[in-house]
Amino acid sequence: MKFLQERIVSEGRYLGGGILKVDSFMNHQIDSLLMRAVGVEFARRFKPLSPTKILTAESSGIAPALAAGIELEIPIIFARKHQPVTMAASAIRETTVSHTHGGRVELIIAPEYLTQKERILIIDDFLASAKTIMGLASLVRKTPATLVGIGAVIEKSFEGGRALLKVLDVPVESLVAIAEFRENEIIFL
């Protein structure tokens, strides 16, 4: 997705330590037209897998997941980081490490949304170390639902997360992949 690469180059800022700041269009302020295009592309790539729901993490994964859900005409579920009083005590939990948040985070979902008939597509904003995505996959494995694919808007391939996802044996798609950061330059695959 050339236009996504162009936005990353023009507005993204490398903060060091593997952190790419893209909050002017994706993580804080959201460019709705860009997200629509992201959703169209994810739908094109994953429609053949017949997903029935999309799972993502609160909160940065919600925009691309929602865009894909609209295009695929399926619901999205986001794993919460804090359990609200409205969620049943039987919630399914997984703890993972967040590079962005600088520590451990808990991912929580209500089991009634991941039944045996569900075919789950995980969509997230970044694929880097894959710890959040592996946490989401672990949540799915704790239910009778089936994981069918994984999508990320931006992959930082130098962090090796894709290799960790091979054990899941599902297709993994990223819309753009970054090979490395060189001072202020972003090198794409």
Question: What are the tens digits of pLDDT across the range 30-46?
Answer: 999 999 999 999 999 99
Q: For 110-160, what is each residue's pLDDT tens digit? A: 989 999 999 999 999 999 999 999 999 999 999 999 999 999 999 999 999
Whole-angstrom distance, CA of residue 34 vs CA of residue 20:
18
Q: Is 33 helix (H, G, I), strand (E, B) or coil?
A: helix
Whether this prediction's pTM lies above 0.85 is answered by yes
Element (H, E) at 13: strand 13-16
116-140: b or e for each residue (b if 16 or more CB lie within 10 Å)?
eebebbbbbbbbbbbbbbbbbbbbb
Judge contact between 68 and 46, C-beta under 8 A.
Answer: yes
**In angstroms, rounded to a whole number, what is the distance separating the alpha carbons of residues 185 and 92?**
41
Count of the separate structural domains present in the chain: 1
Give the range of the structural domain holding residue 158, as residue numbers without chain letter.
Answer: 2-188
pLDDT bin (cut points 50, 70, 90) of residue 102 is: low
At 119, which CATH number? 3.40.50.2020
Is 90 exceeded by the pLDDT of residue 103? no
Q: What are phi and psi of 157, to 5 degrees?
A: -65, -25
Residues in the chain: 189
- Percentage with pLDDT > 90 across the chain: 72
| 145 in Cβ contact with 118 (< 8 Å) | yes
